[in-house]
Amino acid sequence: MNNNRRDFLKQSAATIATMAIGSPISQLLTSCGVKNESNATADAVIVLFMAGGMAHTETFDPKKYTPFSKGMRSDSVLSTFKSVPTALDGVHFSEGLESIGKILNKGTVIRSYVAADLGHILHTRHQYNWHTCYEPPQSVVVPHLGSWIAKELGPKNEVIPPFINIGQRFDVGEGEELKAFHSAGFLGSEYGPFMIPDPTKGLDSVRPPVGMSQKRFESRNQLYEKLVKESAMGEFGSDYQKESLKRSMEQAYILLNSPEAKAFDLSQEPKEKYDIYNTGKFGLGCLMAKRLIEQGARYITVTTEYVPFEGWDTHENGHTRLVGMKKMIDAPIAQLIKDLDESGRMDKTLVILASEFSRDMLMEGRPDLRVLDQVDQPDVIEDIKNYGMHRHFTDGCSMLMFGGGVKKGSVFGKTADERPCKTIEKPIKIAEVHQTIYHALGISPDTNYEIEKRPFYTTPDGKGKVATDLLEKKA
């Protein structure tokens, strides 16, 4: 009986190990695809992710403004904020985003991103799709965009992790679902995200716990290596995956003892600059991203963090909630772009602001593919909590792109001025967004690895196309 139990546990461990690493790979992965780094216009990426569903009509694509009044009809409301001018003549943003509007001449606003049709709308499914380019579920653990970039280009600075994720915790809300795409998958652990859940505690990520001496930490590290060897990964993982895990551990240890670790210490930033960024975790995450780019980071995500019914996840009190969200992002994002520009890093750093989908007061899904409503919205609004964009909308989302070869002072795409405010010009989907990012970095569109005896590409079936209209024409 005991032997049967041990065998069961052993086989279970093997199964868990296989699930954790995607597919067991017997040899080192070799990329198929020719890099064109000499033609690259960018060598680093920052993604500013507005997790939770940022309404386009309330941010970067405002429509007719209707102020709140008791007894107003819901179908009369397209935007709950006034529009304000930007640095581009005739182009307006939503009130509260004046600082970002002033630096729009340094980048492009995309007004025609169309999110995938994934059935009943769940945030983590669309976030999975945005970050991996693949629709869940998949038979393998799909690499995150940052992991592909880390694998193909490697670190710019050997000490700084090539993929850093700032701002997202996994112990709140849909933590397990979020973990599903914060992964390097079959590419290996060394290309997974270096997680900094709270930028105000960034130093905790690169130093031993309080009260632990360096010698004791080294002893712990040796013990950890021993435990890994005796774990399911150590026993059942492929040689590639074991080597990748070992390298990720070594990289973390090197960072701990490096001068570059000071980049995680935000207290070293001049107070006047720190105060501009200090709007909360997201703002300080932008500051940390700036400091890490200065030290040679390759790929960074800074997120407003997805927690159900918080932040951009405006199932009620949409207008009131967005007042606070705009204060959180406006000054730090504008300052990040200005700082990168002033330091000379903007030209080679591609900065993208995006969200998994948009929102509307009445529409759930898109006009020709309505899905089950998840919010009760009254026909007549009597309470301020019902004034705002509370339903999920997938057919007209806004993005911003700066630097790295992106056009300056440009508007891409268009949505209708009346409900449903859907995309009517230049629709762009996630495969095109990803392939445009890879193109800017010099990563070939035919980059793939053989997984489960089939090629696995950076975009599904390698069919992602570059959105050339987003990029400056080369001389």
Q: Assess whether pLDDT exceeds 60 at residue 291.
A: yes
Model confidence at 29, in pLDDT bands (50, 70, 90)?
low
Rounded to the nearest 10 degrees, how much is the dihedral formed by the CA atoms of 314, 316, 320, 326?
Answer: 0
Among 12-21, 363-372, 453-462, the range scoring the smallest mean pLDDT is: 12-21
Q: For residues 161 and 169, is the Cβ–Cβ distance under 8 A?
A: no
Q: Classify burial at 291, counting beta carbons within 10 Å of its beta carbon; exposed 0-12, middle 13-18, buried 19 or more.
A: buried
**What is the structure's pLDDT at 259?**
78
Q: What is the spatial distance between Cα 463 and Cα 475, in angstroms, rounded to a whole number?
A: 27
Model confidence at 241, in pLDDT bands (50, 70, 90)?
low
**What is the structure's pLDDT at 59?**
98
Q: What is the spatial distance between Cα 325 and Cα 305, in angstroms, rounded to a whole number?
A: 12
* Mean pLDDT over each residue of the chain, to the nearest integer: 88
**Closest CA relative to residue 44, chosen from 402, 342, 411:** 402
Work out the widest C-alpha separation in the chain, in whole angstroms: 78
Q: Beta 299-303 vs 423-425: how paired, if at all?
A: unpaired
In 356-471 the beta strands, taken as DSSP E runs, fall at: 358-360, 365-366, 369-370, 380-381, 391-393, 397-402, 410-412, 414-415, 423-425, 448-451, 454-457
**What is the structure's pLDDT at 260?**
85
Q: Classify burial at 53, counting beta carbons within 10 Å of its beta carbon; exposed 0-12, middle 13-18, buried 19 or more.
A: buried
Task: Give tens-digit pLDDT for 137-165.
Answer: 999 999 999 999 999 999 999 999 999 99
**What is the structure's pLDDT at 266?**
95
Q: Is 316 helix (H, G, I), strand (E, B) or coil?
A: coil
Model confidence at 16, in pLDDT bands (50, 70, 90)?
very low
Mean pLDDT calculated for residue range 333-338: 98
Q: Which domains does the chain have, with CATH numbers?
A: 36-203+280-470 (3.40.720.10)
* Percentage of residues in the chain having pLDDT higher than 90: 75
**What is the structure's pLDDT at 452?**
84
Mean pLDDT calculated for residue range 212-217: 60
Mean pLDDT calculated for residue range 399-405: 98
Q: Assess whether pLDDT exceeds 70 at residue 195.
A: yes
Mean pLDDT calculated for residue range 428-455: 95
Q: For residues 468 and 50, is the Cβ–Cβ distance under 8 A?
A: no
**What is the structure's pLDDT at 55?**
98
Q: For residues 279 and 331, is the Cβ–Cβ distance under 8 A?
A: yes
Model confidence at 307, in pLDDT bands (50, 70, 90)?
very high
* Phi, psi dihedrals of residue 386, rounded to the nearest 5°: -95, 5
Q: For residues 444 and 35, is the Cβ–Cβ distance under 8 A?
A: yes
Q: For residues 49 and 301, is the Cβ–Cβ distance under 8 A?
A: yes
Sequence-distant (≥ 6) Cβ neighbours of residue 210 within 8 angstroms: none
Model confidence at 5, in pLDDT bands (50, 70, 90)?
very low
* Residue that is written with structure tokens 């593919």 in the block: 369
* Phi, psi dihedrals of residue 83, rounded to the nearest 5°: -95, 150
pTM score, whole prediction: 0.88
Instruction: Give me the amino acid identity at 430.
Output: I
Mean pLDDT calculated for residue range 194-204: 88
> In the beta sheet, which residues pair with residue 213?
none
**What is the structure's pLDDT at 225?**
59
Q: What is the spatial distance between Cα 319 and Cα 316, in angstroms, rounded to a whole number?
A: 9
Question: What CA–CA distances, in Å, run from 252 to 169, 203, 255?
Answer: 19, 13, 5
Q: What is the spatial distance between Cα 247 and Cα 250, in angstroms, rounded to a whole number?
A: 5
**Closest CA relative to residue 397, chosen from 109, 48, 112:** 112
Task: Give tens-digit pLDDT for 34-57.
Answer: 566 678 999 999 999 999 999 999
Task: Give tens-digit pLDDT for 337-392.
Answer: 999 999 999 999 999 999 999 999 999 999 999 999 999 999 999 999 999 999 99
Q: What is the spatial distance between Cα 223 and Cα 185, in angstroms, rounded to a whole number?
A: 25
* Residue that is written with structure tokens 């139990």 in the block: 5
* Residue that is written with structure tokens 């653990």 in the block: 141
